[in-house]
Every structure is written in C-alpha cells, then in structure tokens.
Structure 1
Amino acid sequence: MTATTAPPAEKTAAPAPAKKSKKKLLIIAVVLLLGLGGAGYFFVLKPGSGGDAAPKPGPVAPLDHVQINLAQGHYLRLGLSLQLTDAVSGEHGGEFDGSKALDAAIEIFSGRDVAELAKDGQRAKLKKELVKVLEERYEGEVMDVYFTEFVTE
C-alpha cells in the first residue's frame, strides 16, 4: 500500500500570508499610535504651548546709583538698570518706581566682603539672586537687571 501525502512545504505555505498581513497590520497600528501620540504632545502637552508665553522685553528703566556698606568699612557703589517687560510700558506713564529694586540690592549686597565680590562668578550669582527677588517684588514686570556701575572701595 502506498499512501500519498502532501509535502510538508505545502502545508506551511498557506498560513504564511496570514502572518505577513498580521505583521503589516501591527506595524501600521504602531506607526499610527506613535503619530497620534506625537501630535497630542505637540498640541496639548508641549511646554510653552499654553498661555504662559515668555514675556517680551519692554523699556529699560535706569535707576540712580546707590552706595552700599560692605564689611570692614568698605562700600560698593552700584548702578542698576531694570529690563522691564513690554506689559509695563504704558502702565506707569513713563515713570517707574525703582525703590523696591534698590531696597533689594541693598539687602543682597550689604555686609559682604570686597574679596567675596571679586571672586569669579560671584557677581553673576548675586545678580541672578537679585533678578529672582525683583521678579517676585514687581510681579513679573521686571525680567532682568543690568549693572551700570559696580565699584568697590
């Protein structure tokens, strides 16, 4: 008795196209999900995409210089200009009260050593601290500080 059976290659040939089409569908689904996720991030979650846009620079308000007492009988002659935001330009009618800024500068620099102020990077560190304080005191009206005079004696 002889029995004929189909070769094993024919049995495996039929299911192969189904596996390929499932893989293609899976790949297409993954690509679509990634695309939708990226679009969702771009339109909804992207930092800075909301209403919290960074303020734009407005006018610069120069302030009178001030002398600040340092340690050991020394002093600092400090001149400041404040970079205001564009929202400030019309609010104050051309006059900007810098008394809060001068007060903050006196608080931050008073009693420091001349040697401390001369260290590399210390002036930038103190300026950054001053900007942070002024952003709080002026409620976002001040965005930067420029030293126009910085003389120790």
Structure 2
Amino acid sequence: MAKDDKTTEPTPTKGGKKKLIMIIAIALIALIGGGAGGYMIFAPKKATAEPKPTPGVVSVLDAITINLADGHYLKLKMTLQATTEAAEPPDGSKALDIAIELFSNQSPDTLLSTDGREKAKQDLVAKVVTAYTVDKKKEVMDIYFTTFVIQ
C-alpha cells in the first residue's frame, strides 16, 4: 500500500441537522398556530366540577356508643347538614349505620390523633354523602361531630 492511499469514510451530508430543526419547527407551528390540534393540546382546561350544594336544614342525630379495639368505646353524636335539594330532613339511620361500620374495632390511638380523626371523618362524610345521593341529587353535604368521646 502506498502512503497516499487513504480509506475513505462517508462524509456526513450537510443539512441533516437543519432538516431535523425545520421538521420540528413546522410541527410546532402546525400544533400551536395551525389549527384545532394545537388548540386542543394547549387550550386551558375548562372546569367541569359540580357547583357546591347550598346548605339546607341540619338534622341532629341521637348519640351512639361504638365498640373500639381493646375494650374501648366511642360515644359519637353527629348532625347531618342537608342540602336544599333534599325534599325532607334526612333520616339519620343510614348515617349512623355507616358510622358504626366505619368506627367499629378501630384503634383508640388512631382516633385520638388529629390526623386519624380527620381521616376517619373524611371517609365517613364521603360514604354518607354517597348514601344520601338520590338521582344524582346530593341530599346531605356534610356531617358535624357534636360529641366525640373515647374511653
């Protein structure tokens, strides 16, 4: 082999990066300014949240005693905040049954902590609101603890 023989490597074609940049630019222009596709991607999302229900009557329920874990018990008295969509004040039997099911055999330590009590209340509210929703009309919007004693 002679010294002048060089192996030839293919030289990259010019404009490879330029072509890629142009394709990306055209795609962005088409998405952003060029039509419905860009609008649907970048348009602000419309809130489809239901309007807040308006408060109606408050139903005071009788106090109940619920057995907790380790021989402890919970004395619970609550009220139901009805909505104006409720035809009549709600009967509290469903709410009391849900409370008994939710709190039975729970640890007193869990319910004594602020976080544990708030979590349990949130769960209770969610279940009660669902139980009192008829034909997509929420008849109960919230509950309030008026007595919450653990012994």
TM-score w.r.t. the length of structure 2 is: 0.65
**How many Å separate the matches in 2 of 1:48 and 1:143?**
19
Query: Do the aligned residues in 1 keep the contact of 2:68 with 2:74 (CA within 8 Å)?
Result: yes
**How many Å separate the matches in 2 of 1:120 and 1:98?**
25
Q: Structure 2: which 5+ runs fail to align?
A: 1-32
What is the aligned partner in structure 1 of residue 47 from structure 2? 47
State the structure with more CA Rg: 1
Cα offset, 1:48, TM superposition: 4.5
Query: Do the aligned residues in 1 keep the contact of 2:82 with 2:90 (CA within 8 Å)?
Result: no
Q: 1:83 to 1:133 in 2, by over 3 A?
A: same
What is the aligned partner in structure 2 of residue 19 from structure 1? none
What is the aligned partner in structure 2 of residue 96 from structure 1? 90
Task: Report runs of 4+ in structure 1 exceeding 6 Å deviation.
Answer: none
What is the aligned partner in structure 2 of residue 83 from structure 1? 81
Q: Which structure shows the bigger proportion of residues in helix conformation? A: 1
Q: Deviations for 1:98-153, whole angstroms, at most 9, x for unmatched residues?
A: 00000000011000111111123111110000011011110121111100000011
Identity of aligned residues (%): 44
- 2:56 corresponds, among 55, 58, 77, to 58
Once superposed, what is the RMSD of the aligned Cα atoms?
A: 2.7
**How many Å separate the matches in 2 of 1:82 and 1:138?**
10
What is the aligned partner in structure 1 of residue 99 from structure 2? 105
Q: Structure 1: which 5+ runs fail to align?
A: 1-29
Q: What are the within-5 Å matches in structure 2 for residues 12-27 of structure 1?
A: none
**How many Å separate the matches in 1 of 2:106 and 2:69?**
5
TM-score w.r.t. the length of structure 1 is: 0.64
